Chains A and B, each alone.
Chain A
Amino acid sequence: MLDGGIGTATKRREDVRFLMGRGKYTDDHTPAGTCYAAFARSDMAHGRIVSIDAAAAEGMPGVLAVFTGADFADVGSNPAGWLINSRDGTPMYEPKRPVLAHGKVRHVGDAYAAVIAETREQAMDAVEALEVEIEPLDAVVDMAAALADGDNRVHDDLPGNQCFDWGWIEDNREATAAAIEAAPHVTTLELVNNRLVPNAIEPRCSIGEYDPGTGDYKLTTTSQNPHLTRLLISAFVLGIPENKLTVIGPDVGGGFGSKIYHYGEEALVLSAAKRLGRPVKWTATRSEAFLTDAHGRDHVTRIELACETDGTFIAFRTETMANVGAYLSNFSTATPTFLHGTLMAGNYTVPNVYVNVKAVFTNTAPVDAYRGAGRPEATYSLERVIDKCARELGIDPIAIRRKNFIQPDQYPYASAAGLEYDSGNYDALMDVLERRADLAGFEGRRAESERRGKLRGLGINSYIEACGIAPSNLVGQLGSRVGLYDAATVRVNATGNISVMVGAHSHGQGHETAFPQIVADMLGVDPATIEIVHGDTSKIPFGMGTYGSRSLAVCGSAVHRATEKVIVKARKIAAHMMSVSADDVDFADGQFSVPGTNKFVAWGDVALKAYIPHDFPLEEIEPGLEETAFYDPANFTYPSGAYACEVEVDPETGVVDVVSMVAADDFGNVVNPLIVTGQVQGGLAQGIGQALLEQTTYDADGQLLSASYMDYAMPRADDLPTLVVDHSSVTECTHNPLGVKGCGEAGAIGSPPTVVNAVIDALARGGHDVAHIDMPLTPVRVWTALQQA
């Protein structure tokens, strides 16, 4: 292993600028002449725009322009990235998603006008001076009611508000029903996967610029994927050609999904910049973030588990209503379907799986992928119903899982939900977990808690997820409008240092440190000589960005491929320099040599030679040393894990304390263990937050009640225990060159059911027969359940 190469816990180099206050986030950029946008947002969930009179606002101090929906009536719509067909073959309903609401407002926070002024405050002052008449309409909030009521419509031409009614795998429907019918035991559970607000701590921000001389546009924006944003703006919304639009995602303060998507504010600042000939900046307040960032989850599910009386699984059947909000955000149709339904076999050798998902429009903010995206919903349903089943049958929760695990000799394994798992070893993970979590010592700890009047419970979970999205041919068949490859260019400069342009975007994941480890490892050079360039469409070849735990598995593989190509070329140059055939040249530790001779050339000499090609046979070797690779994965990757959590419940108040959390994950090979541990811990905190704290509540009128940190409980340091992470159990991914799987979402996928299972266990051990409590398990909910038990 190269010191500083793959597998080294290298400290992150990007930390230095962040720790010094020298990070450059979008809002830290203020080009000369910047003016500011503020948005007029609906304070009602549903209404018909009767009139907007901007005369008074236009006369306010500092005001430069006012835009309304009418200004964008002719531009394109912000599209859904996946086209889903319903069970009967009909295509989903895709409403127009305009830059500014036109005709109707459809959720609280829906922007219908924007003011541009010299200062932010002036723009906000002028927004209040707009004279607006909006006729209120009844809000569609509850999903079941939305489906039932054909008259109350989020989109006027869609009675019943159903976006699609999807079956997976439709051909398994009958067989699954028959299997459940015939099964000796069926466990049924109805549950809610609670709606979450992503809450990256950096609010969204966008700066539009336009150069009237060249006609070039530039968008600096809080994006996880600048190329995707450019594609959406170019191909769908504004029609600006890609070669006239640069999109830059500079330092970005977290995303968790919410910054994948293209939002109307980005199109607005670009259009305004062109009209005014000045840079236009908009920075969201946290209140705007709550109202307009794409939310996550929000499933209402009924799941059935059919099994033999010994706990052998026979079938899983899931019926879900998935809230998509008022408009289709870019991945909103993929998340509850292919990122959810395909995982409904879990880590288990279950023969029958069927999933039905109805996506429902409501007068709420759009809902889309949030850390884990579909897989947390799948894992939560499965692992809760398995736990309930184990309890009903009197089987130990670990034993029932082990009994049904896919075994190491069964790979590649075709799951009943349509995926082909390439590798895994779930018993090995459970072994690690049992040791790291000291499960043998649980009873002693429980007794100690009891002495203090607390109910202690143990929650167990095992999960599998699909990462590294995704093979383009597969997702294309499934309805994706884009390919999901990634790209990298490795540029060896004349003096031997290296620039690597990557399509993945780092907003906390540490790519600037981890990607050089790969290249350094392959080239045998010092990682310090390698720089990563990301987040700028004018500098990098292409890229689909960072989400779905895909950066390393997909973009890292592209880096690997490009580096391989560089080595091939460098070998040719070295062979030429040593006057031998390339086949005779060995490359190791940064040096080219000819075995059996004392001939060698160093890496630096080859690099220099590439740019001083005075004696090159030009028909065989081009000057320069730079290669690009586009990598399209052959399959998803399948990280898996086993988690344990212990909670203490105060039976008097219902307060749940998470006292321990242990994650044992299999991520395949690990490039930088320090970073991987941090990724898991962050995910665990979000998962514990979902399980216990984070509650997104709309009232019947569609008002968001949990619209600030006063009412939306973010996990804080004192809400969390020491987060123990172990990724020593490794089965390599078989189809990417690094053997890696992806770790970014695991913690958020694995932890919610672990916590809930632990609380139910604690209550059961205390003699309280509570089958289920919906997340978040707030004190009032736990206490109320105890009163009813």
Chain B
Amino acid sequence: MPEISMRVNGTDRTVRVENRTLLVHALRDGLRLTGTHVGCDTSQCGACTIHVDGAPVKACSMLAVEADGAEVETIEGQAMSDGSLNTIQQAFQDHHGLQCGFCTPGMVMATAALLRENPKPGDAEIRHALKGNICRCTGYQGIVNAILAASGQPVPAAMDSEPAPVAAE
């Protein structure tokens, strides 16, 4: 079985795989990085979205052997160095951008890729950019709001029947 080396979230890792092993399984089963999820078998749900050499990639649609030598970023490497949530993650919590949390790692990684290309996306641009990430829980409103907030833009006051959220304990 081939052994591949990747730099994962800033650390050099090696893992043994079969040629047929998908990158997502190398991460989940080989490296025990189970934050990257599998939601489909047709490359459409985006639950497995990670970054490879700086670009968003569906980890289910790439062979592990193709990632030999690559720089890989996953959800596990997104938090700030002090362990607190980064801006995007914090915005997801603030704006209720997740419910069951299963699509969430992919959403956060897709958002990071989007904001790198387009630091202030509008509502339509955000929705366009999320085409490859399916969420069954949220209706996407909390996610769109979170991305607006993460990029320093005002969130629509659509829900003005409510008090503003307060900090979690």
Contacts and interface: CB of A to CB of B under 8 A. Distances in A.
Interface of A: 3-4, 8-25, 27-28, 30, 121, 199-203, 251-254, 256, 283, 285-287, 507-510, 513, 526-528, 673-675, 677-679, 681-686, 708-710, 714-718, 720, 722-728, 747
Interface string B88-114: 010011101011111111001000000
Contacts of A203: 38-39
B42 A254 contact: no
A254 B141 contact: no
A707 to B, nearest CB: 10
Contact of B89 (A12, A20, A27): A20
Interface stretch (B51-59, B61-69, B160-168): B160-168
A526 B98 CA distance: 24
B149 interface: no
A201 B136 contact: yes
Given A254-B136, A678-B142, A722-B156, A508 B100 contact: yes
Contacts of A283: 38
Contact of B76 (A3, A12, A21, A723): A21
B34 A717 contact: no
The 3 lowest CB-CB distance pairs between A and B, nearest first, are A21-B35, A253-B102, A18-B101
A678 B139 CA distance: 8
A12 B168 contact: yes
A673 B166 CA distance: 11
A287 B99 contact: no
Given A19-B92, A121-B20, A508-B100, A11 B166 contact: yes
Given A678-B142, A727-B161, A710 B137 contact: no
B79 A12 contact: no
B139 A685 contact: yes
Given A717-B144, A723-B139, A674 B96 contact: yes
B35 A20 contact: yes
B11 to A, nearest CB: 15
Contacts of B44: 708-710
Contacts of B99: 254, 508-510, 678-679, 682
A747 B139 contact: yes
Interface in B110-135: 123-124, 126-128, 130-131, 133-135
B6 interface: no
B76 A10 contact: no
A708 B39 contact: no
Contacts of B161: 673, 725-728
A492 to B, nearest CB: 18
B75 A202 contact: no
Contact of A723 (B89, B133, B158): B158
Nearest to A11: B168
B138 interface: yes
Contacts of A528: 169
Nearest to A530: B169
Contacts of A4: 166, 169
A718 B127 CA distance: 5
A30 B169 contact: no
Nearest to A689: B136
Which of B39, B142, B159 has its CB near the most chain A CB atoms (within 10 A)? Answer: B159
A594 B28 CA distance: 58
A14 B20 CA distance: 35
Interface of B: 18, 20, 28-29, 33-42, 44-45, 47, 74-76, 78-79, 85, 89, 92-94, 96, 98-105, 108, 123-124, 126-128, 130-131, 133-144, 156, 158-159, 161-169
B165 A251 contact: no
7 contacts: A11-B94, A12-B96, A21-B74, A253-B39, A717-B126, A723-B139, A723-B141
Which of B101, B105, B127, B168 has its CB near the most chain A CB atoms (within 10 A)? Answer: B101
A138 B168 CA distance: 58
B141 A18 contact: no
B45 A286 contact: yes
B162 A674 contact: yes
Contacts of A677: 96, 159, 162
A728 B164 CA distance: 14
A11 B75 contact: no
A201 B94 contact: no
B101 A253 contact: yes
A338 B81 CA distance: 54
A15 B98 contact: yes
Contact of B139 (A8, A199, A253, A682): A682
B128 A20 contact: no
Contacts of B136: 199-201, 254, 256, 682, 686, 714
B96 A3 contact: no
A684 B135 contact: no
A22 B169 contact: no
A19 B109 CA distance: 10
Contact of A684 (B29, B100, B139): B139
Nearest to B40: A286
A142 to B, nearest CB: 28
A717 B168 contact: no
B26 to A, nearest CB: 13
Contacts of B123: 722
Given A709-B134, A716-B130, A716-B131, A21 B34 contact: yes
B92 A15 contact: yes
A508 B76 CA distance: 20
Given A675-B96, A681-B141, A14 B159 contact: no
Contact of B158 (A24, A716, A722): A722
Given A20-B85, A682-B139, A717-B127, A9 B166 contact: yes
A251 B42 contact: no
A17 B85 CA distance: 10
Which of A16, A19, A508, A686 has its CB near the most chain B CB atoms (within 10 A)? Answer: A19
B29 A200 contact: no
A526 B47 CA distance: 35
B35 A714 contact: no
Given A21-B75, A25-B37, A682-B137, A11 B93 contact: yes
A22 B93 contact: no
B93 A16 contact: yes
Contacts of A717: 126-127, 130-131, 133, 135, 140, 143-144
B77 to A, nearest CB: 9
Given A19-B85, A20-B78, A21-B105, 16 more contacts: A10-B168, A13-B168, A19-B75, A19-B101, A23-B35, A200-B100, A507-B100, A510-B99, A528-B169, A677-B96, A678-B99, A681-B140, A709-B45, A722-B158, A725-B158, A725-B159
